[in-house]
Amino acid sequence: MKRLVFLLINFTINLFNFIKCINFETNNIILHQPVFSKNTNFGFSVAGYKVDNDSWILVGAPLTERERYHGQIVKSREGAVYRCRINTPNSCYMLPFDKKDWNEARDHYGIYHSENKTDQLLGATLIVNDDVILTCAPNYRYVTRMLGQDEFRYEPTGTCFTLRDKMRKFEEHSPCRNSMWGHHRQGYCQAGFSGAISKNDSSLFLTGPGAWYWQGMVFSINLYNKDIRHKYPMRSGEGNNDDSYRGYAIDIGHFDNDIYEDVVVSSPRGNNCKGYVEIFSSNFKLLHTIHGKQIGSYFGASLIAVDLNNDLSTDLVIGSPMYKKDTENYDLGRVDVFIRDKKSQGFVFRQITLNGFKARSRFGATLAKLGDINDDGFNDIAIAAPYDGEDNSGIIYIFNGRSDGIDITPSQIIKGSDYGLKSFGYSLSGGLDLDGNQYPDLIVGSYKSDAVAYIRAKPVIKTQIDVQTSPKLIDFDSKDNFCDKNKTRLCIDFEYCVEYRGKSVPKTMKILMNLELDIDKFQNKSLIRAIFGETKSNYLTRNHTFKSETKTCFKQTVIIKKNLRDKLTPIKCHVNLTLPNYDTDWELLPMFSSIKDSSKMHEIRFLRNCGTDDICIPNLQVAASTPTKKYIYGSQNYIDINIHVENTKEDAFESQCLITLPQGVNYVKAFITQSSLSQQLFLPCYQNKGFDTTRIICDIGNPMISGTSKSFTIRVAPQNIILDEEILKFNITVTSSNKEDQMTMFDNEHYVYVVLDAIPKLALIGKQYQEQVIYETKTSSFNKDVNSLAYETEFDIGPEIMHEYKILNKGPSQFSLSELLITWQNQIKIGEKNRDFLYLMEMPYIEGPIECSLENLDINPLNLSKLSDDKIRNPEKYYFETKKSKRSLFTDSNSNNNDFSSNLLRYFPTEFYLNSYGNKYNDNEIESVDCSSGIVLNSQDQSDDLINHGSNTDYLKMTKTDLYEFYCSTIHCKVGPLSADESALIRLRFRLYARTLALNPEIYSVKTSAMSIVTQIPYSNLKINLDQFQSAVQHRTKN
């Protein structure tokens, strides 16, 4: 008994899903559900029945309760088979199978029931062929008394019933109900687990997968006298064949080229649980075996024998619903289609595999022959995956047969969720035209919902669409194709004809015709090249009533637009037919079997100079150059690129020149220069900007005639060039819509290179706010002992001196960093003493990107009170009189007085004198204090001594005369970045120690010095000698 339950559970799990084919009407199904009871597994099996004009849907409900009399009336769950009307929902009636009470037997102990029909599952198997209906109760139990009076054997031998002669003749068939009791023989046979009926209705084929230790067996029974003609095997086989379940599925076909039917039987647990399928002759002579490949896939859980490619030889379709693709996709399911080679003498099959679409869907649990549902001459099949779909309610897939076997893509799917049904497709039946429209219908069982869906096939309409144009080619040079007096519009005649036919289609039909021109351009209406004269658009709709098998033609005028760009690609014209959609409750209108039957594509071609093959193969060549060999970063100059294109072979359509610009380079214009006219002609170009590139696209001919050439110039302006580039690379490519030979493509591309350079011209401009400082030594209080003086304000020290240095980048290129050194006389040594000379009053004032190192600089060390905090910031308010100077306060690098070569700029000081009344002197007698000779800048090695001195403001000792030694202070600054015409400045304010001058009247001038050099530029890939970018300047104030 446990073995029976196991078999039934596996059989149940592997039979469920729902189908949808190309012409199955899924919006108007007939649904049957029992109104008398629930939970009967109504729909566990289904079949169609048609005799003469009488059509029914047969449904098995194996858990239906029936009333029996066992001393009293009791209810017993035995199962039943119902017949339902095809056109009325929920109109089902029980068929008279197994109406008698349980059989009784008599022995020396007395009378007992020799059978037990409770849970016998009548209706679990349901087969129909013509007038013969076969149903089985595989769990029917045969009862025999054992040795003791109260000891009985209850063995699931199974039993079957047939109903024929228009449901009037009832017979029972139970081949395992005999004396061969026990699971080691036929006691657990479960006869009728599956079955088949021969085509001539003379034989029944029943299986008993539980016989012989569940090795299984098959019976051939004479339908008319119930004699067992053949059975296989006669006895138990080897022990390794136990639990093979031979007979799990069975079908009939022709496989060996004779006139007799052959039998196909599956053993899904044989072959070490990989499964196998055997092909027998009608007398059970083994002809061929097909072995499964994967353990546990249940290869052979379902099978059908059907001719898919219409070669009059039977093909084989085998389901493996528990096939797994990997560890994640278990119970995915798989169906193997074996296409038999009819020409071969043996059993040669070509295998096609169809895999399931979702894990745990058990694709292939149920298979069904559909017949030719789309009237294409090939049989079709349905494959159910009863646990497929988002809600696991089941899906049926329709696959169409064809000349090479089967289309591997389902033509239609039907989902159980659309009807609220579960286990949709657990049982299937097809291939029978029940509604009389000459197309086979489909019956789908959903036993978990106690429901059966009847899905009808629509008639298929076949059409013939013909399209032709006059003239056949568009010729822009012809004078005969214009359709107006002014000859501005080119027109052609467009004629289309439609004819339909088909089985069970109406004699007249209204069909909607949709015509569209240039369908390839639908995404951009501006590119459409042709319109209908009637609608002034590329779209036209027409309704017309056609007669079956009658050709009807229509004519339209098509206007070709002027100034077409695409003259190479044909104008595709699409004619699409649409049928009305107003099905009644019962009548189904026909439908197109495929897209090709409802549409037609026609091409209107252009007349082209492309030779006899009408295929233009050009040979475009491009060359390019530029007079600009070097471009300086930051300059405002244009770059002109001269381009020459020629075509040496056949016409090139939509020919274009594509110029890819480097990043930061902008397009200005494109022009053709005619030397004879000395003027520039415009060339149509446009730019297409991408994320990091800009492409200039220029039209150079449509077509560019064979043997012609074109020369033009592209002008561009570099503006925001990437700073680390060494060169500008311009890519020039020529293309056309008609491809040229790959062997000639090498000259379709050219590169132009422009070298990049950088020249930051550095100018260091000096400015002083005093032309002279005047002091009378005879009346000065500084004639007394200088050591006795006490300073309280800055005025007590002596006259003020303010010097300013401005760093200007005169371009055109940018620099990132420059070094600036400023020195001045800090002390003078007189005798053995150091005397203060210039006193720095406050922090230097800076403007712009300058950073100076001032940590150890002596700034107002005596903490003298300042007369003003604003003077160093706004010196013009206090020194407006300086404009009256005899000489310019600025000394420019372009001055004739400057001595410079290349980019080395030197600034000479402006000299002023401090007058001592009563003393006379000449220039040769002036003793000058100069620190500039101590400044040395070298960008190559960047002297550490210099940098350290500048940052720590150490004194630079230098001797100017035999009498004095001077000590100088230095400020080291970093300036930058500065672009062209940008500047930065630093301003210093000192007090000159008057007492030192009084003690040393030989000193007549004071000088500060500055020098700057570029040390870094932002063009990392350019190798530039930075020594050329330096400047120096000095200021001198005379006493």
CATH number at residue 742: 2.60.40.1510
> Do both 858 and 1006 map to the same domain?
yes
What is the pLDDT at residue 930? 52
CA neighbor of 609 nearest in space, from 708, 733, 521 = 708
What is the pLDDT at residue 881? 42
What is the pLDDT at residue 890? 29
The answer to whether position 538 is within a domain reads yes
> Do both 687 and 602 map to the same domain?
no
Percent of the chain topping pLDDT 70: 83
How far, in Å, are 497, 1022, 1027 from residue 1016 at the CA level?
80, 11, 11
> Do both 286 and 389 map to the same domain?
yes
Q: What is the mean pLDDT of residues 283-290?
A: 94
Choose the weakest-confidence range: 256-270, 411-425, 988-1002: 988-1002
What's phi and psi for 270, nearest 5 deg?
-80, 180
What is the pLDDT at residue 786? 47
Alpha-carbon 70 to chain mean position: 72
> Do both 466 and 533 map to the same domain?
yes
Q: Which residue has the tokens 């001045």?
A: 824
What is the pLDDT at residue 963? 55
Q: What is the mean pLDDT of residues 418-440?
A: 96
> Do both 263 and 322 map to the same domain?
yes
Distance, CA of 876 to CA of 886 (rounded, Å): 18
List, for residues 236-259, the tens digit of each pLDDT value.
888 889 999 999 999 999 988 788
What's phi and psi for 366, nearest 5 deg?
-130, 140
950 or 927, higher pLDDT: 927
List, for residues 904-921, the tens digit of each pLDDT value.
222 223 332 222 222 333
What is the pLDDT at residue 791? 81
The answer to whether position 283 is within a domain reads yes
583: pLDDT confidence band, cut at 50, 70 and 90? low
Confidence (pTM): 0.63
> Do both 255 and 397 map to the same domain?
yes
762: pLDDT confidence band, cut at 50, 70 and 90? confident
Supply 471's token pair.
């003239």
Which residue among 539, 573, 606 closes a domain? 606
130 or 298, higher pLDDT: 298
Q: What is the mean pLDDT of residues 769-774?
A: 70
Which residue among 576, 606, 636 closes a domain? 606
List, for residues 832-841, the tens digit of each pLDDT value.
788 888 899 9
What is the pLDDT at residue 949? 29
List, for residues 14-66, the tens digit of each pLDDT value.
333 333 337 899 988 999 998 878 899 999 999 999 988 889 999 999 999 98
The answer to whether position 164 is within a domain reads no
Amino acid at 393: S
What is the pLDDT at residue 775? 58
The answer to whether position 107 is within a domain reads no
First-residue to last-residue Cα distance in the chain: 131
Q: What is the mean pLDDT of residues 991-1007?
A: 76
592 or 120, higher pLDDT: 120
Distance, CA of 317 to CA of 308 (rounded, Å): 10
What is the pLDDT at residue 996? 81
Range of the domain at 677: 620-757
> Do both 287 and 335 map to the same domain?
yes
Model confidence at 983: pLDDT above 60: yes
CATH number at residue 1030: 2.60.40.1530
Model confidence at 635: pLDDT above 80: yes
> Do both 587 and 497 map to the same domain?
yes
Identify the helix (H) or strand (E) that includes residue 8. Answer: helix 2-13
What is the pLDDT at residue 69? 65
900: pLDDT confidence band, cut at 50, 70 and 90? very low
How far, in Å, are 271, 425, 446, 877 from residue 449 at the CA level?
36, 11, 6, 102
> Do both 712 and 837 map to the same domain?
no
931: pLDDT confidence band, cut at 50, 70 and 90? low
72: pLDDT confidence band, cut at 50, 70 and 90? low
The answer to whether position 810 is within a domain reads yes
The answer to whether position 893 is within a domain reads no
- What is the rounded average pLDDT for all residues in the chain? 82
994: pLDDT confidence band, cut at 50, 70 and 90? confident
Is there a contact between 49 and 127 (Cβ–Cβ < 8 Å)? Answer: no
Q: What is the mean pLDDT of residues 149-171?
A: 89
List, for residues 661-717, the tens digit of each pLDDT value.
988 899 999 998 765 555 678 888 888 877 667 899 999 988 888 899 999 999 999
> Do both 632 and 587 map to the same domain?
no
Model confidence at 354: pLDDT above 80: yes
What is the pLDDT at residue 722? 72
Model confidence at 883: pLDDT above 50: no
The answer to whether position 881 is within a domain reads no
Q: What is the mean pLDDT of residues 163-168?
A: 88
What's phi and psi for 932, nearest 5 deg?
-65, -25
Number of domains within the chain: 4
Between CA 67 and CA 76, with CA 73 as vertex, the angle to 5 degrees is: 40
How far, in Å, are 69, 173, 222, 235, 982 from residue 227 at the CA level?
31, 9, 5, 19, 115
> Do both 319 and 301 map to the same domain?
yes
CATH number at residue 396: 2.130.10.130
Q: Which residue has the tokens 């729902």?
A: 18
The answer to whether position 387 is within a domain reads yes
> Do both 465 and 519 map to the same domain?
yes
1032: pLDDT confidence band, cut at 50, 70 and 90? low
What is the pLDDT at residue 379? 97
Model confidence at 943: pLDDT above 90: no
Distance, CA of 430 to CA of 552 (rounded, Å): 37
